[in-house]
């Protein structure tokens, strides 16, 4: 179990680094808040370790895009995690100046996909590293089963 937790912790670090890299590659590093928000944690759920990833909510809107309330339409991008959202208000909230918030709500946000690219990098790393890790866990479990039943395991 401990090896599985360590493996998931390392996979979480790989995914967070990949998210941060892809955020930078997409030019989404205005203040750095989105990149700094990416984090991971391994949590025990019903006795099994699970990897949990955190990211600011607006990162999903940046990734998938949001259609504006005006005539501008946002085209979906097949590399985005979700289909584009839809602004419903004439002005978005937040600390930006009013004209900027108004323009964003009217024109929308074009998709700048980064989540699936990062996920694919993390999955590739897991696929390259999980076999040895799982083999050791399986071998240990088999040795435990045999030794419990009286076999001598070396």
Hey, which of 125-129, 131-135, 143-147, 149-153 has the most confident mean pLDDT?
A: 125-129
Q: Cβ distance 114 to 121 under 8 Å? A: no
In sequence order, which ranges of the chain are alpha helices (DSSP H)? 2-25, 33-37, 58-64, 98-107, 115-148
More confidently predicted of 136 and 128: 128
pLDDT at 139: 59
pLDDT at 150 over 60: no
More confidently predicted of 7 and 136: 7
Domain boundaries, the chain: 2-143
Write down the pTM of the prediction.
0.78
pLDDT in tens, 44-61: 988 888 888 999 988 999
Give the tokens for residue 81: 């995690």
pLDDT at 31: 84
Q: Give the Cα separation of 134 and 118 in Å (integer).
A: 23
Mean pLDDT of the chain: 85
Q: What is the CA radius of gyration of the chain?
A: 22
More confidently predicted of 148 and 6: 6
């Amino acid at each position: 179990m401990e090896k599985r937790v360590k493996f998931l912790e390392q996979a979480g670090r790989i995914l967070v680094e990949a998210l941060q890299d892809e955020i930078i590659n997409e030019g989404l590093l205005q203040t750095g808040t989105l990149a700094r928000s990416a984090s991971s944690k391994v949590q025990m759920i019903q006795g099994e370790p699970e990897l949990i990833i955190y990211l600011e909510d607006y990162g999903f809107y940046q990734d998938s895009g949001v259609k504006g309330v005006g005539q501008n339409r946002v085209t979906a991008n097949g590399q985005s995690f979700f289909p584009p959202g839809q602004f419903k208000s004439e002005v978005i909230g937040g600390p930006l100046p009013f004209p900027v918030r108004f323009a964003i709500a009217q024109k929308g946000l074009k998709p700048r996909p980064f989540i699936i690219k990062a996920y694919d990098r993390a999955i590739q790393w897991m696929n390259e590293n999980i076999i040895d890790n799982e083999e050791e866990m399986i071998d240990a479990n088999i040795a435990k089963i045999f030794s419990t039943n009286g076999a001598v395991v070396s």
